[in-house]
Every structure is written in C-alpha cells, then in structure tokens.
Amino acid sequence: MVDPAKQKRDEFIMDTNNSSIVSKRSVEKLYYANEPQYFQEFTGKFKRRSPLINRGYWLRMRAIEHTVQKFLEEPSGKKKLVVNLGCGYDPLPWLFLGKIPEICNDAVFVDVDYPQLMLKKHAMIDRSDALKAVLPGLEKTDKASGLLCHSAHYTAIGCDLRNLDFLKLVLQEHLDAEACSVAILFVAEVSTAYMPTDGSQAVLEWAAGYDDARFCLLEQHIPDGRDHPFAQTMLKHFDKLRTPLHAIGTIDQMKDRFSNAGWPADGLNIKPLWDLWSDPFFLSPEQRRALDEIEPFDEWEEFALFGSHYFLMVATKPAPPSPASPSPPTQLTLPTPTPLTAIPLPKPHSHRRFASLLPPAIPPPAFPSLAEILPPTSAPQTSIALHAGLGTNERITTTATYTNSPATNTIPGPPLSAGLMCHTITPLPRSADCLLVGGRASPAQASAACWLRRNGVWEKAADLPEGRYRHNAVPVVGAEGDARVLVYGGKDSRGDVLDEGLLWTAGEGWKRVEEGGDGRPRARFGAVLTVDGEEGCKGLLIGGMGSDGCVLGDEWEWKLEGGKLVWTSREARADGTRYRFGAQVTKIGEEAVLVGGIVGKGMLGREDEVVGLESGRRYPLVGERPMLVGHSMHGQLVLGGGATCFSFGTYWSASSVLRLQSEGNEETHWRLQEEPESPKIAKQPTEIPIERLTLTDEKTFDHIRTTNKPAVLTNLDLGPCVTKWTPEYLKQTLGPDLPVIVHASPTPKMSFTSKNFTYETQPLSTFLDAIATGAHLYLRSLSATSPSKTPTNLATDFPALAPDFSLPPSLSSASTNAHSAPLRIAGPVAMWLHYDVMANVLCQIRGRKRLLLFPPADVTKLHFAPGASSSALDVFAASTACDPALASCSPHVADLSPGDVLYIPPLWLHAAVPLGGGAAEPSVGVNVFFRSLEGGYAAGRDVYGNRDLAAYEKGRKDVGMIARAFRGLPVEVRRFYLERLAGELGDLARGE
C-alpha cells in the first residue's frame, strides 16, 4: 500500500534535482562552451544563474569529476563501477564516456535514483540523439523499477536508497559487483543528506560491505554551529522546501559516521570545498584565474562561506598506503580570550553591505591619531554615516546616518545617481574634509571617479588613472605637513589585480608612487592597510587576495620616505586567522583588532572572527552574532553587513555594538537617523551633431574657420588613397619589413595620463596583421630622420604614399601653413581626450571613426591637470552620475567615413574611437596640422603641434611664483588671498 506522506516527501526530494540541474546547465553553457553540451539534454529553457551560483556549482561539479577521473585513471586491471546514488538528471556518465572515453574502457557508469525519476530520465535519453550516440547498444528492459536500461558502459537502476538489499541484488545480477575483479566508486552528491540519519548511515554501512570500494560524498555540514548566519539561512531554506537536512553535522561527526560504518579511519580524506579551492593538487592557479575570464566575479566572501559549508569526503577501502604524517600544527600561545557581546541597535535598520564610512563634517581637534582613524567607543563623534553600498535590491547612492545624540543632522554624501560599492572614503588630517575614491558598479565597471568634501561641500576631485575597487586607502602626512591619501592595490574593470601605490594631494591630484625596499608585495585586493597615526607616514599591509583567487598569507611594513613607498617584509605568523580578505580594522578597548572577513582555509568562527592585530588575542562572540561580511566598523559599532547565502537566500545583519563584558549589556543609544534625499542629478548633456558641409572654394573654408566651430567637409578629392590604402597595399608599397613605432595597449582604451600602453617597434606587416586579429595597437607616424626634433610629414617620411594623397585647393590655407602631416593607423582602440594648440584637418582614408569634441570653454570640467594637454577622463563612458560637471558641457559628435575631412579648430578637446570594431577594417587617416594664429606660439621645438602658447607657459611660472610668495602663512590666510586672485583672473578671462 502506498504511503501518501512518504510519497509526498519523496516528491519534494526529487524536486531539488530540478533546480540543481538547471544551475549545472548554466555552468555548462558558460564555462564549458566549447565542449559537448550534455546537461542541456536534461533541461528546458536555459536560465543563466548568478556568478556566485555558477561558481559554486562549478566547484561542486569539479570536485565530483576530479574524484571520478582519479578513480578511473588508477592502474588496477579491474572492472570499475561508478555508482551514482541519487543521481537525478546528472549526466555524469556522458561527461566521461563522451569527453574522455579513453579512460573508460573498463568502466561502467551506474545511475541510481527513485524509479519514477529514472523512468523520466530514460525517456529523456531515448529522445536525445546526442545522448544515445554515447551509449551504443542501449537496451530498455520495460521494467518499472530495478534494471531499467543498460549498455556496455551504462546501467540505469530505479531503486529507493532505503531498499538496499534490492539494489545489491540488481548490482550483483547484472554487473557481478561483489566479484574480486571489480572496484566500485560510490558517488553521492547531496542525496543521502535528505535521508533520516539511520537511513543514510545504512547506505554507508552497505557500501562498506564491498571489498574494493570508495565512497565520494559531497554534501553540507555545519562548521560553526547552526546559529551561524549562513547555516541558519541554509537550514531554513531546506526546511521551507520540506527537505530538511537530517544527516547534517560537523566534519568530525561525519568521520565518526564513516568509521562506525566500517570504513578504515586512515582511508578517510575529507575537506571543505573552500579548502579544496586553494589546494594545488586539485586546482592550479592558472585554472582558477581562467574562471575570471568567463564572467566577472566579486562574490568572494559569499563563495568562501558556501565552500566552507560543503565538504568532499573520499573514503577508501581497503585504506591506501599512509602518506608521510604531516607536521603537527604549531601550538599558539595566545593571551586569555576576552568575550564580546553584540548588542543590536534598535529598529529600523539600513540593510546594505560593502558600503563606506562617512564621518560628519565636524573637524576633529587635531590630526587623527591611530585612535581616531580606528575610533574607540569614547570617540567624540556623535554620528557616523554609511555611504552607498549594495542594498536589498540594487547598488544604492544614499547615506544612512547613525547617531547617539538626541538631535543630529544627517550626513549627505556626494551626488551620485548610479549606485556604488567597494569604494573608500578617507578622512583627511586636521580637518573634516574627506576623499571618496573609486568603487564599482558591476565587477567589470570599476569607477575612477573621486570626490572631495571640502568645508562640508562635495566637489569633484581628480580621477584615478584608471578605475579600481576593493583597494585600500589611508591618510598620510607629507613632508610639509600637508594632507595626502595613499591608495594601494585593488582590482580594475578588466579583472586585473593591482600592485601599485598612488598618492593624492589636493593640488596635484594622483601620482604613482615610486616603490623600493627589500622586495615588493604581490598584487592584491581586499587587504588590510593600517597607518601609524603618530607619524602618519608608515603602517602595515596584511593579507588580501591575489590574482589566483587565494588569500595571501604575508605581511609588510610600509613607509613613505621622500615620496617613495618603501617596503619591508615581515615574517609570517603561524596564526592563520591573521591573514584575511575583506576584514575591517578597528579598536576594542585599547587594542587594534581584525574583524570579520574570510581566511584562506577553513572558516572564521565565533571564537576567532575578532582577533587582536598584534597580540592575536581572541575576542569570542557570545550569544547572537552579526554576519561579519561586507560590514563597516566605527569603533565598536558594526554597521551593515550580510551576504547572499548561495541559492538559499540573503542574510542581512542588524547593526550592533560589540561590548566587552566589563561594559555591561544595557541597550545602546546608537540608532539610525532618517536618510536624506539624494541630491538631484543633472541630465546627461545632449550630443550635438557636427554640421556636414560641402566646400565650393577656399573662401568657404576660411569662413568656417572664423566661426571657430568644427565641421565635417564632404565630397573632397583626397586622391586615390581612399580606395588604394588597404592593408595589403600598404605592405606592398611600403615594404612588409618597414619598422614602425606603435602604441601597444592591453586594453581597448588608451590613456596618455596613466600610460597604459608601451611603445613597440614592429615590422609593418606584423602590425597590420595584429590589428586584423583585434590587437589594441595604434600608429602615429614620426619623422623618419629626426623623430625627437622634426615634425612628421607624409610626403617626406612615406614618399611612396605621397602621390596617393593631397589636399584639394579649397583647403589651401591648411596646406600653405602646414606644420605637420602624420599618418595614423588604428586598430580597435579608443584614443584619449586631448587638445591641440594648432588647428588641423583630419582626413579619414579607410575605416570609420567617431570623434567626440568639446569647445575650449569645457576644459575646466574635463579633468585636465594644470599644464597637461591630455585628460584621463573616458568621455565615451563618462556620465553625470559620477561627474555632475559634465551636465554643463557641450559635446559635439562626428562619425567619419572614408573621404570625410573633419576640421578641428585650435584648442577643441577631442577623443576618438573606431566604429565597427576596427579589426576587420583598420582606421587609416592623415592629419594636417596648420598654424592659424599670427603669432604667440611657443619658441623652440613642437614636434606634435600641441605645445601650449608661450603666454600660458610663462603664466604658469608666474602662478608658481605667486603661490610661493604666500608660503609660511596660515592655510586660511593663504587660501583667502589666492582665491581672490583666482577670481580676478576669472574676471579677466571673461572680459569683465
């Protein structure tokens, strides 16, 4: 008689397979795109999972497949059975028989699951030519349970795992499983976990009854108690699905269960998946890095939590030869633990993570010492804000102000319209000013934008040379006592991990710091960077994550000496909990401590989530605890935090205060203030199409020049170059071995400011062929005889091409006053924003190109450093979301096709990007720069035509002299007079 309750429970368990197989299909399509797609045969419409779920299932799949492959490759001479207990729709047999059949000659794959599920699976196989092609000779038995179908290398069995005698009988009758010539690998991936403990224990005992057997078990465990936030969320999820994890326990309990079931204790190998991730015998650094190329990923803490709550057990019977015993772990001598209690703040809560602390606009009395950078509970501040971060539905822009005072103003952040996370906000010494640096939208959208709060007002600061997030930033003091910010490490939009230091000053913006010492730290992100508050120019760098996705176990002392960042390596400590990714540093009482984050092996538990930075003292958390991931620390305040717990749901921490037992457990006065309204963001400026005109004579061009506006000139005769100058023609005419100096960049966006390119000398044919394959290369010709002294000219530097190109008579004023005529050939690469002092006509010969131009009046809004003719701003991607000043700019756009000529007036700011990718058809053009002023050009060499006018060069020297005249005066006095002088210059510039 059918038990309806049991039947319903079985259906709930089978339903878990429907979700997991869809997730594995997502992994297959993305991560194994060039391999046979067997999962798709068992799923319906493709559903792309999140990067976290994709990577988690990838690791699960890898763990099982790695174990099976090792078993199949073992030299034994025996017939090998791979018995998948609770297989669901998993196509494990096809992954081996279809992809690496050479190791399957003596193997039979056995799928075992509920009869009703296996009948559905067989029907799917029967409908799929791709699946049947891997199983020649597949025969169906027409049974409703037991042996359902079989071939030489595959067997499907419908059997409830509670009916082990029946399963043993089928295996013996069909496969002679008990023969001494048979070795068996049992696989159970999250299947026995749903069985009552006595039922799953019976499976382990039954499998141990075979003489030559292995058991590969992958399922959940509880590494730090059922009250851990991740464990809570996971257990509630399965309870909600009515598939509770009956057999779940700790790793030690699982070892005991296997030993009690008859498996040799010395044949048990068990590891959490997070430990397996960093095991070089399981995954190489190159394999881990390759995953980042599939899809951007930055859910490292959540991935580690997932991996820490799943384990892979491989039990072997008989036990293999014992390897050399590992050295016993070093016994740590630590101070007496000091317990902490987390006191939740009263409701409401602002749920956000990976935000940044924003101090109030009230200046502290002096330079922030270490105690103020890491404020204790006695800090004088009565409010603190949490800025931006990842909210419950999306990245957010707002601030959440927390206060312990009855009346406190909210603390507004800068005017962002696009959400931001993983950024830093650094208080500047001796003031209430602070600097916001970087951050990201998605992991592939790092922000270079920086904001300075000066005297309570937010203003745009100089951009980073390139966007970065998960970096470190600390305040430092210059030799003259000036406030600076040191930024180190992080990750960029390409996923590259950075290893450089940048130094910001209010007057000069960002500069790369020269580095020295007894070595250099590896590139890292998510590290801990501290600064000594007494001197303000030295500190520690600890932990973080490298490019291979593993937590680094090193530490370095750093010091700024004469503008140089000097590194000194420290001896690594035996305490592995010290080296973390995503940790925060604060003070508990009088001691600096590390709070939260993740470690490279194992998982931080309530005993060691908070440890002394130098002493290693443990501060165990007593009672209910927050999730110390994505949180921010202000003294003993834990603000925000939480995590997406794989596919089980999201856990949000309530902000809380960490209290020492000596401080009591009374309610805290800290609470959340109402959030301010977000500042309104100006609309994105409308691009103005540049007028397209046809010249009738020279006077028409002269008239265009008097308007001081760009124009696209059409229907001009530039000669046969427009049809002739194909890559093959250029090779043939100039010679394939002609050496050319090109800009080579790893990215499709070149920046003169950050110098993200190198100069390389290549044969012309190599250069053109590389462009055809999409290489980020760009040629701007130089003088063939004297490149550092003489401007280039197409006619003299490429005489073989000269007959093909000429300016028509209608542009004679450009020809007569020509300064230079460089040849330009570009692949799929965007050129940086810059201006030229001389006017020029850009003749598009081959390919298509888009140019964005801005009038000279916009120069102060587009991040041009003093004296620089190039900007780091990517105007093709910039928006008022991160840069409100753009709203008042006037972008002009021109799309050029072969034969078009763009007139660019002097000082018009412009940037270029190829259209259509630039690879199949490179962009080829000739610029003719010409003098349009009667005089005023700078004396001396001007090879590129972009040297600023003599009056400006002299004026900058005069400005320096004026500034030096005010040295020695108090900052407020100096600023008062210099800003008055700046106002006078502004009036003169406007003719007032």
* 370, pLDDT greater than 70: no
CATH of the domain at 171: 3.40.50.150
What DSSP state is assigned to residue 618?
Answer: B
* Rounded Cα–Cα distance for residues 512 and 504 (Å): 9
- What pLDDT score does 952 carry? 81
State the pLDDT confidence band at 2, using cuts at 50, 70 and 90. low
Query: Residue ranges of the alpha helices (H) in 190-322?
Result: 197-208, 229-240, 251-260, 273-277, 285-292, 300-308
What is the rounded end-to-end Cα distance, in angstroms, of the chain? Answer: 99
The residue count of the chain comes to 992
Q: Which of 261-275, 718-732, 875-889 has the least mean pLDDT?
A: 875-889
Mean of the pLDDT values across residues 7-35? Answer: 90
On whether residue 96 sits in a domain, the answer given is yes
* Rounded Cα–Cα distance for residues 208 and 219 (Å): 19
| Closest alpha carbon to 356 in 260, 447, 251 | 447
Residues 831 and 727 in one domain: yes
Q: Which residues pair with 199 in a beta bridge?
A: none
Residues 847 and 964 in one domain: no
List pLDDT tens digits, range 411-424: 999 988 789 999 99
- What pLDDT score does 148 carry? 97
The total of other beta-carbon atoms located within 10 Å of residue 694's CB is: 10
Q: Which of the two residues, 809 and 966, has the higher pLDDT score?
A: 809
Dihedral, CA of residue 688, residue 694, residue 697 and residue 701, to nearest 10: 10
Residues 190 and 159 in one domain: yes
- What pLDDT score does 986 carry? 77
The overall average pLDDT reported for the chain is: 89
- What pLDDT score does 431 carry? 83
Mean of the pLDDT values across residues 425-441? Answer: 92
Mean of the pLDDT values across residues 31-41? Answer: 96
Domain boundary among 274, 294, 317: 317
| Distances 622 to 312, 337, 341, 592, 632 between C-alpha atoms, Å | 30, 12, 5, 20, 20
List pLDDT tens digits, range 639-688: 999 999 999 999 999 999 999 988 877 778 899 986 544 444 455 677 88
Residues 817 and 960 in one domain: no
Domain boundary among 250, 282, 317: 317
Residues 969 and 835 in one domain: no
| Distances 885 to 450, 459, 461, 737, 854 between C-alpha atoms, Å | 13, 9, 11, 48, 13
On whether residue 672 sits in a domain, the answer given is no
The total of other beta-carbon atoms located within 10 Å of residue 326's CB is: 6
Residues 836 and 985 in one domain: no
Q: Which amino acid, one-letter code, is at 166?
A: F
State the pLDDT confidence band at 943, using cuts at 50, 70 and 90. low
Mean of the pLDDT values across residues 109-125? Answer: 96
Q: Which amino acid, one-letter code, is at 675?
A: E
Residues 248 and 157 in one domain: yes
Mean of the pLDDT values across residues 917-922? Answer: 59
CATH of the domain at 727: 2.60.120.650
Residues 795 and 873 in one domain: yes
Mean of the pLDDT values across residues 383-407? Answer: 91
Question: Are the CB atoms for 81 and 110 separated by under 8 Å?
Answer: yes
State the pLDDT confidence band at 939, using cuts at 50, 70 and 90. low
* 538, pLDDT greater than 90: yes
* Rounded Cα–Cα distance for residues 635 and 657 (Å): 9
* Rounded Cα–Cα distance for residues 932 and 906 (Å): 8
State the pLDDT confidence band at 597, using cuts at 50, 70 and 90. very high
Mean of the pLDDT values across residues 820-824? Answer: 92
On whether residue 521 sits in a domain, the answer given is no
- Interstrand relation of 711-714 and 692-694 (parallel, antiparallel or unpaired): parallel
On whether residue 88 sits in a domain, the answer given is yes
* Rounded Cα–Cα distance for residues 475 and 477 (Å): 7
Residues 964 and 878 in one domain: no
State the pLDDT confidence band at 377, using cuts at 50, 70 and 90. very low
Q: Which of 2-11, 17-26, 47-56, 640-649 has the least mean pLDDT?
A: 2-11
What DSSP state is assigned to residue 402?
Answer: E
On whether residue 28 sits in a domain, the answer given is yes
* 224, pLDDT greater than 50: yes
Non-local (6+) Cβ contacts of 55 within 8 A are 291, 297, 299, 303
On whether residue 532 sits in a domain, the answer given is no
- What pLDDT score does 272 carry? 98
Q: Which of 402-416, 439-453, 666-680 has the least mean pLDDT?
A: 666-680
Give the CA radius of gyration of the chain: 34
List pLDDT tens digits, range 543-567: 999 999 999 999 999 999 888 999 9
Non-local (6+) Cβ contacts of 23 within 8 A are 49, 53, 54, 57, 647
Mean of the pLDDT values across residues 876-891? Answer: 72
- The pair of three-digit structure tokens given for residue 277, joined into one six-digit string: 């991730």
* 380, pLDDT greater than 70: no
Non-local (6+) Cβ contacts of 422 within 8 A are 298, 354, 438, 439, 440, 469, 470
- What pLDDT score does 954 carry? 82
Tell me how far the alpha carbon of residue 870 is from its chain's centroid: 27
What's the number of domains the chain is made of?
3
Mean of the pLDDT values across residues 365-384? Answer: 48
Under DSSP, is residue 533 helix (H, G, I), strand (E, B) or coil? coil
Q: Which residues pair with 342 in a beta bridge?
A: 658
Question: Are the CB atoms for 927 and 814 separated by under 8 Å?
Answer: no
Domain boundary among 260, 292, 317: 317
Mean of the pLDDT values across residues 588-614? Answer: 95
* 919, pLDDT greater than 50: no
| Distances 692 to 171, 421, 710, 844 between C-alpha atoms, Å | 81, 43, 10, 14
* 306, pLDDT greater than 80: yes
Question: Are the CB atoms for 28 and 57 separated by under 8 Å?
Answer: no
On whether residue 339 sits in a domain, the answer given is no
Residues 151 and 98 in one domain: yes
On whether residue 907 sits in a domain, the answer given is yes
* 505, pLDDT greater than 50: yes
Residues 984 and 918 in one domain: no
Residues 884 and 974 in one domain: no
Residue 923 structural domain: 688-934
List pLDDT tens digits, range 47-71: 999 999 999 999 999 999 999 999 9
Under DSSP, is residue 545 helix (H, G, I), strand (E, B) or coil? strand
